[in-house]
Structure 1
Amino acid sequence: MGVLRDLDETQAPLMDHLIELRGRLLRSVFVLAVSFGVCFYFANDILAFLAQPLQDAFGEGEARLIYTKLPEVFFVELKVALFAAFCVSFPIIANQMWAFVAPGLYAREKRAFLPFLVATPILFIAGASLAYFVVMPTAFRWFLGFRGDAGGIPIEALPSAGDYLSLVMQFILAFGICFLLPVLLLLLERAGLITRASLVKMRRYVIVGVVAVAAIVTPPDPGSQLILAGPLYILFEGSLLVMLILNRRRQDQTEESGEASDTV
């Protein structure tokens, strides 16, 4: 009877956590669905915003998007709405995730994770902004430089709406995710999986890796690759600097606590 009672007592908190998780997931799905409905209503305006770099690369009044399949534009608007809805609702979804996890953390752990939660959207937006305002116009102008003629046959750029949207999403997601490199490195360092000293020793390999990642996630023009590789390496060096500051702060706190214990 005692064993059954203990099982009941352990199952009760588990059920409470599952019920809370279900509630927070439902809220997140509801927010995403509402955001999707609003974004789908403004899908044309959002698509026009995403197409502005192409407009700038072509010149005023020269850009056009075509579609070769009847339902293509409809699915493009669905993808645009879903992409925009996730971007809009992500802060609320992240807040729901944090509200579910936070009660199980100590105050010290909450203070440790809070900077990462704040830095993640800021770095992602910075990377996406770099892609939208700098990289995409530069890359599109480079692509359009191949227009001309082949044996008297004109070669024109007539991108389809679906292909263009896929390319824009690739740019934005690639740059946004790559800019989260400091968050990843600092989390791994705090978890004890890597150290600053090991990263310093691997600097030359990191440079090769940064160039390789830039070559993979960007289109094959040198300008886009350099524009991504440069900030990525700067972020890597910035992560090393932050690690150095945090390590010195921890060392000072350890020494102060040791001196206090010796005094006692």
Structure 2
Amino acid sequence: MAFGLRKRGPSNFERAADGSMTLVEHVRELRNRLFRASLAILVGFGVGIWVAGPVRVLLSQPYCQLPGSQLPDGRCNFVQLGPADLFLLNLKIGLWVGLIIAAPVWLYQLWAFIAPGLHRNERRYAYVFTALAAPLFVAGAVLAYFVASKGLEFLLQISGDDINTTLDITRYISFVTNLLLLFGVAFEFPLIVLMLNFVGIASAKRLLSWWRVAVFIFFAFSAMVTPTPDPFGMTALALCLCALYFAAVGVAFLNDKRRGRGKEVYAGLDDDEASPLESDREPVEVGQPVETVTPVDAPEPVTRPRPIERRYDDIT
């Protein structure tokens, strides 16, 4: 019964939020969270090594589905330049898969260490952005998976029929994974637009007025970062970024309407535009005469204080 009545002290989250946790305790907490995250990644790495073969086959499908990319026995026409290339490739794939499988654990450990230093509204925004970041990244990776097939088809057609093309399995998998990562990160750009609006840096009208610059930047960015020179991948990435930008601007309009932005007195004026002045001049009425002030009587003399009795101190 004594254990049931014992009052529990504040948790580590509460102590870190109110600043009562010492520096040594912060370092100890960071060490524990890094250990848990590393342990989760190690377990995920073991699972990733187990499924590295099927994942490698899945990543090879954009090339294996192209005509002329298979051997007579049905296998993909890949080569291995070094004796340990395939082994190292499986380790690399296992690490990527392990990071994805252990993502809920190490992301939670990272968030639990950072969250006490944020305000409540900042933590709420972080929840929303995190919930949107994962689907956007997956959508970008799926788009890159289909773009890789079109890009490889374009590149193989350019080489001609007189050249026998055989791809190195290590360089090919690196090409596909870099493309997936690049498209996934590019799809996170709308979150930056929403962040600018939610923190009050840019309104929805201002974001909409930047649409020409945004479209130009999207096409230029897609042309520079897309590893394949075919127009299909660049156009697909740029059009998806434009669609996500306008969707983010629509969400920004809803946020401004909810917060009542744009209803201020000078909301319709530009920063360098002068406010309108009223030209109607109202006549000033003649002021009323001021009454004569009576003089103030001289103060009475102050009586001198009585002498202090020295026989008593401050206490008695």
Q: TM-score, normalised by structure 1?
A: 0.83
Q: 1:154-233 to 2 correspondence within 5 Å?
A: 154-218=162-226, 219-233=228-242
Inter-CA distance 68–138: structure 2 relative to 1 (3 Å threshold): same
Output the amino acid matched with 1:31: A
Q: Which has the higher helix share?
A: 1
Q: How many residues align?
A: 240
| Larger Rg computed on CA atoms | 2
Inter-CA distance 63–147: structure 2 relative to 1 (3 Å threshold): farther
Whole-Å separation in 2 of the counterparts to 1:28 and 1:146 = 46
Q: Secondary structure of 1:51's match?
A: helix
- Residues 1:43 and 2:52 are matched in the alignment: yes
Inter-CA distance 109–11: structure 2 relative to 1 (3 Å threshold): closer
C-alpha distance after superposition, 1:134-180 (max 9, x if no partner): 2122212222212434xxxx312211011101110121001100111
C-alpha distance after superposition, 1:214-261 (max 9, x if no partner): 112211110111111110000011111111111111118x99xxxxxx
Whole-Å separation in 2 of the counterparts to 1:136 and 1:236 = 23
Output the amino acid matched with 2:104: P
Q: Could you say which residue in structure 2 is the equivalent of 1:64?
A: 77
Q: Could you say which residue in structure 2 is the equivalent of 1:96?
A: 109
Output the amino acid matched with 2:220: A
Q: Could you say which residue in structure 2 is the equivalent of 1:144?
A: 156
Output the amino acid matched with 1:44: G
Shift of 1:11: 8.7
Q: Could you say which residue in structure 1 is the equivalent of 2:312?
A: none
Shift of 1:196: 3.1
Q: Could you say which residue in structure 2 is the equivalent of 1:5?
A: none
C-alpha distance after superposition, 1:32-58 (max 9, x if no partner): 111112211221221111111111124
Q: Could you say which residue in structure 1 is the equivalent of 2:147?
A: 135
User: Structure 1 vs Structure 2: percent identity of aligned residues?
Assistant: 31
Is the 2:151–2:229 contact (alpha carbons within 8 Å) kept by the matching residues of 1?
Answer: no
Q: Could you say which residue in structure 2 is the equivalent of 1:14?
A: 23
Q: Higher mean Cα deviation, 189-198 or 43-52? A: 189-198
Q: Which one scores higher on RCO, CA 8 angstroms, separation ≥ 6?
A: 1
C-alpha distance after superposition, 1:19-44 (max 9, x if no partner): 21221111111111111122112212
Whole-Å separation in 1 of the counterparts to 2:260 and 2:40 = 44
Q: Could you say which residue in structure 2 is the equivalent of 1:111?
A: 124
Inter-CA distance 11–245: structure 2 relative to 1 (3 Å threshold): closer
Output the amino acid matched with 1:47: R
Q: 1:66-85 to 2 correspondence within 5 Å?
A: 66-85=79-98
Inter-CA distance 188–19: structure 2 relative to 1 (3 Å threshold): farther
Inter-CA distance 170–28: structure 2 relative to 1 (3 Å threshold): same
Inter-CA distance 227–17: structure 2 relative to 1 (3 Å threshold): same
Inter-CA distance 87–12: structure 2 relative to 1 (3 Å threshold): closer
| Cα-Cα RMSD | 2.2
Inter-CA distance 43–62: structure 2 relative to 1 (3 Å threshold): closer
Q: Could you say which residue in structure 2 is the equivalent of 1:260?
A: none
Q: Could you say which residue in structure 2 is the equivalent of 1:259?
A: none
- Residues 1:245 and 2:254 are matched in the alignment: yes
Output the amino acid matched with 1:67: Q
